[in-house]
Amino acid sequence: MTYPIRQIDESAWPSINRVAEEAFSWTPAPGQSARYKAQTEFDRSLAAFDGEEMIGHTSSFGFTMTVPGARVPVAGVTWVGVLPSHRRRGVLSSLMRAQLADLRDRGEHVAALYASESSIYGRYGYGRASSHLSFRIDKPGSAFVRDWPQDPALRIRVVKPADVRSDIEKLFASVVARRPGRYDHNAAFWDSVLGDEDFDQHGAGPLRGLLAEDDGGVRGYALFRVQQKWTDGIADGELRLRGVEATDPAAYALLWRSLLDRDLVSQVVAHGRPVDDPIIALLADQRRLRVAVQDELWVRLVDVDRALASRAYTTPVDLVIEVEDDVCPWNAGRHRLTGGPSGATCEPVDDAPDVTLPVAALGSAYLGDGQLDEHLAAGLLREHSPGALRALAVAMSWSPKPWCGSGF
């Protein structure tokens, strides 16, 4: 049985909400549903119907995202859900195909998402494009290395985050282009983070903030909550990091030092941090960082030629890539990629291929995470010209490592 898919508008919000509440077993906090509605780009929303009943939904945000050497439009896919009554009947597959075709019609060539489960999106040509860390640092033993960067001009200011919104927005805008995977945050994003309407859901008090600044202005901020706790009469609080950004290493280090030194706190817990977070190098005893790694962004090249031509490459590259793509058949075939640090071209050709890759492998390498190396070592990719895959893997890798840091 197939279920028709239609673009929807704002009037469908109660149905979208219902699909999300049931699919995710989600109970919106007061005000949360209205906020999500305000963020939804209805002209980018598609739904599947069984008669009059909405049974599945997907949407996307129109982002500008940093990629190696450039900033490009990216569809940030979100709100994907299918009613429990209609699971495993191909509804998601139909929605994904319709969404990718729609993005192509709009002239958008890259899609990205955070997956609720990592086994879902590979079949639609998405590849794991970045990873992130969750970690806990116990305060005792959290000393920094002896030569950690310190700037006597810097000072810490305790703030209520909503009161310094423009400082926070400006600071974030100044760092967003530094690392692939980061996207511009609009007013609705900051409303949601700094408005802190659902703070009681976190069980750790309101959002708190610190600014690192000197006479010239703000050089960094940290956002966090603190869960108060006493164990056997001893202060045992937990500081939960929401975000920390800085323009320079000294400001970053000072913010972290202030978080780790907070009174009545025995540990700092952070989720969704970059795999090369400088805090790792700052800690003198790195075993104090109890860490877990997980997939973060999944990337899909909607239009292989335009996507590959939109980024820069670490080393010169000139290869014919044969792409396998049964979900977006317009991508299937051979493409010559010619490029280097200052840009690239990519065009369809009939020449003999140097490598054959599933489109998901290109998605996983797109932001520079070096995933092609892993796929190569795992024996998952085919090369026809010896050394071609290694050359492509090196060219597509990038420093710093990609990281998004803000789920959507």
Ligand X SMILES: CC(=O)SCCNC(=O)CCNC(=O)[C@H](O)C(C)(C)COP(=O)(O)OP(=O)(O)OC[C@H]1O[C@@H](n2cnc3c(N)ncnc32)[C@H](O)[C@@H]1OP(=O)(O)O
Residue 80, interface with ligand X (CB under 6 A)? yes
Contact with ligand X (CB under 6 A) among 31, 41, 64, 87: 87
The span of 74-82, 136-144, 309-317, 382-390 binding ligand X (CB under 6 A) equals 74-82
Q: Are the C-beta atoms of residues 315 and 340 closer than 8 Å to each other?
A: yes
**Least distance to ligand X, CB of residue 87, Å:** 4
The span of 75-83, 313-321, 351-359, 369-377 binding ligand X (CB under 6 A) equals 75-83
Residue stretches of the annotated binding site for acetyl-CoA: 80-82, 88-93, 116-117
Nearer to ligand X, 117 or 147 (CB): 117
Give CA–CA dist 18/84, Å, rounded: 11
Q: Are the C-beta atoms of residues 247 and 220 closer than 8 Å to each other?
A: yes
Residues 102-121 that bind ligand X (CB under 6 A): 113-117, 119-120
Nearer to ligand X, 1 or 234 (CB): 1
**Least distance to ligand X, CB of residue 227, Å:** 27
Q: Is 408 labeled as catalytic in the residue annotation?
A: yes
Q: Is 199 labeled as catalytic in the residue annotation?
A: no
| CA-based nearest residue to 345, from 381, 367, 316, 383 | 316
**Least distance to ligand X, CB of residue 316, Å:** 35
Catalytic residue among 63, 121, 126, 252: 121
Residues 212-251 that bind ligand X (CB under 6 A): none
Contact with ligand X (CB under 6 A) among 78, 310, 314, 331: 78
Residue 81, interface with ligand X (CB under 6 A)? yes
How far separated are the first and last CA of the chain, in Å rounded?
31
Residue 93, interface with ligand X (CB under 6 A)? yes
Residue 23, interface with ligand X (CB under 6 A)? yes
Residues 270-289 that bind ligand X (CB under 6 A): none
Nearer to ligand X, 92 or 253 (CB): 92
Bridge partners (DSSP) listed for residue 339: 317, 344
Contact with ligand X (CB under 6 A) among 47, 67, 75, 82: 82
Residue 72, interface with ligand X (CB under 6 A)? no
Residue 291, interface with ligand X (CB under 6 A)? no
Contacts of 236 (CB under 8 A, 6+ apart): 229, 230, 266
**Least distance to ligand X, CB of residue 90, Å:** 5
Residue stretches of the annotated binding site: 80-82, 88-93, 116-117
Nearer to ligand X, 61 or 144 (CB): 61
Nearer to ligand X, 124 or 135 (CB): 124
The span of 2-10, 88-96, 238-246, 365-373 binding ligand X (CB under 6 A) equals 88-96
**Least distance to ligand X, CB of residue 58, Å:** 7
Burial class (CB in 10 A: 0-12, 13-18, 19+), 322: middle
**Least distance to ligand X, CB of residue 83, Å:** 8
Q: Are the C-beta atoms of residues 134 and 272 closer than 8 Å to each other?
A: yes
Point out which residues bind ligand X (CB under 6 A): 23-24, 77-82, 87-93, 113-117, 119-120, 123
Active-site residue list = 121, 408
